[in-house]
């Protein structure tokens, strides 16, 4: 008698591992919340001149007017009777522009130097790495404060050329962001410059610059953008620190940092004057940080997925 052995059925469904590898993660509730906050605050800052807002520098309510009290400004008024909502939105314009422009300086210069240091592993690359380490060893707020003091010059003197305060902050924070972005770019370049497609392009006679621009840079960009978002968050917080030390824009112009600095004396009697800009800084920095992490995870290419 012939015994028939049934062969086990072969499943065509993907294994849990394959699903985990190929499935793209979405933003999730927290991610969409962070993106929504950034869209709201950036959109409000851009559209501030056409929004129905009070003059951010004019007294429009009694001094220290509490939020949601009566028919005055919805978020209240500061110690000078100025609308806190208007000042928060107009302050966002300055704070976000300073942070974005500063990080773009670090993104371009730091990214370029990081590419060179990671690809050309010679004495020049080692010298750049040493320079990055020296700059990172200096406390960032101290370095930014020193650069602002040097670039701003003597405000009491009428001689010589003076940079606008906003441009001074952009340059100072941009220089501070260069070593951070350069180190991250270098680390990513070290990994990608040894991949098979780079070695193949090199074997086919491609020039170093073509390999850097066509092969390495597109793969390094996600890490650079992720750190740039974190750098914007750091720059916003750093501007607030410089404002508390008296090194930001001059009043009555509003930034989130200057609002916090000017409200310090009101912490006992009207703490909402400080807490409103603090919340704006916290929510924006946390949103940028979270979206940077999401971007890094989404574009992180692991060997198991290749």
The answer for residues whose C-beta is within 8 angstroms of residue 287's C-beta and 6 or more apart is 33, 34, 35, 37, 38
- Structural domain count of the chain: 1
What's the pTM value of the predicted model, to 2 decimals?
Answer: 0.83
Answer yes or no: is 99 within a domain. yes
Give pLDDT tens digits for 168-210.
999 999 999 999 899 989 988 988 888 888 888 888 888 888 8
Given a cut of 50, is residue 22 above it in pLDDT? no
> What confidence category does residue 154 fall into, taking pLDDT thresholds of 50, 70 and 90?
low
For residue 159, the enclosing domain spans: 30-43+81-300
Answer yes or no: is 25 within a domain. no
Answer yes or no: is 66 within a domain. no
Give pLDDT tens digits for 39-82.
999 999 999 999 999 999 999 999 999 998 878 889 999 999 99
**In whole angstroms, what is the distance from residue 226 CA to residue 111 CA?**
12
Helices (H), 3-153: 16-22, 28-46, 84-105, 111-119, 123-137, 140-152
Measured at the CA of 217, the angle between CA 215 and CA 218, to 5 degrees, comes to 80
User: What percent of the chain lies above the pLDDT cut of 70?
Assistant: 86
User: What percent of the chain lies above the pLDDT cut of 90?
Assistant: 44
Task: Find, among 105, 70, 75, 109, the residue nearest to 91 by Cα.
Answer: 75
What is the enclosing helix (H) or strand (E) of 198?
helix 196-203
Given a cut of 90, is residue 99 above it in pLDDT? yes
Answer yes or no: is 76 within a domain. no
Average pLDDT of the chain to the nearest whole number? 84
Answer yes or no: is 173 within a domain. yes
Answer yes or no: is 4 within a domain. no
Measured at the CA of 140, the angle between CA 137 and CA 141, to 5 degrees, comes to 140
Angstrom CA distances, 149 to 98, 132, 175, stand at 17, 22, 14
Answer yes or no: is 75 within a domain. no
CATH of residue 145 = 1.10.3720.10
> What confidence category does residue 10 fall into, taking pLDDT thresholds of 50, 70 and 90?
very low
Given a cut of 60, is residue 149 above it in pLDDT? yes
Answer yes or no: is 124 within a domain. yes
């Amino acid at each position: 008698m012939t015994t028939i052995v049934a062969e086990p059925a072969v499943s065509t469904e993907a294994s849990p591992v394959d699903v985990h590898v190929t499935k793209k993660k979405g933003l999730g509730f927290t991610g969409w919340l962070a993106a929504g906050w950034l869209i709201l605050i950036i959109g409000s800052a851009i559209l501030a001149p056409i929004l129905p807002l009070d003059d951010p520098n004019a007294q429009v309510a009694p001094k220290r007017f509490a939020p949601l009290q009566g028919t005055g400004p919805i978020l209240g008024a500061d110690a000078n009777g100025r609308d806190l909502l208007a000042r928060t939105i107009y302050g966002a314009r300055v704070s976000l522009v300073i942070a974005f422009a500063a990080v773009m300086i670090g993104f371009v210069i730091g990214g370029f130097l990081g590419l060179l240091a990671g690809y050309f592993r010679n004495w020049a690359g080692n010298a750049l790495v040493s320079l990055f380490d020296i700059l990172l060893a200096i406390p960032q707020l101290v370095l930014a404060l020193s650069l602002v003091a040097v670039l701003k010059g003597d405000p009491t003197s009428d001689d010589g050329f003076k940079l606008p305060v906003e441009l001074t902050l952009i340059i100072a924070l941009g220089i501070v962001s260069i070593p951070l972005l350069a180190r991250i770019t270098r680390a990513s370049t070290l990994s990608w410059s040894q991949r098979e497609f780079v070695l193949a392009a090199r074997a086919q006679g491609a020039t170093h610059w073509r390999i850097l621009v066509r092969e390495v840079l597109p793969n390094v960009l996600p890490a650079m953008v992720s750190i740039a978002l974190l750098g914007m968050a750091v720059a916003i917080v750093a501007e607030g620190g410089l404002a508390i030390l008296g090194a930001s824009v001059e009043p009555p112009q509003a930034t989130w940092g200057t609002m916090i600095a000017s409200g310090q004396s009101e912490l006992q009697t009207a703490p909402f004057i400080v807490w409103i800009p603090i919340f704006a800084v916290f929510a924006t920095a946390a949103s940028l940080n979270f979206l940077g992490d999401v971007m890094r995870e989404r574009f992180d290419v692991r060997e198991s997925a290749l």
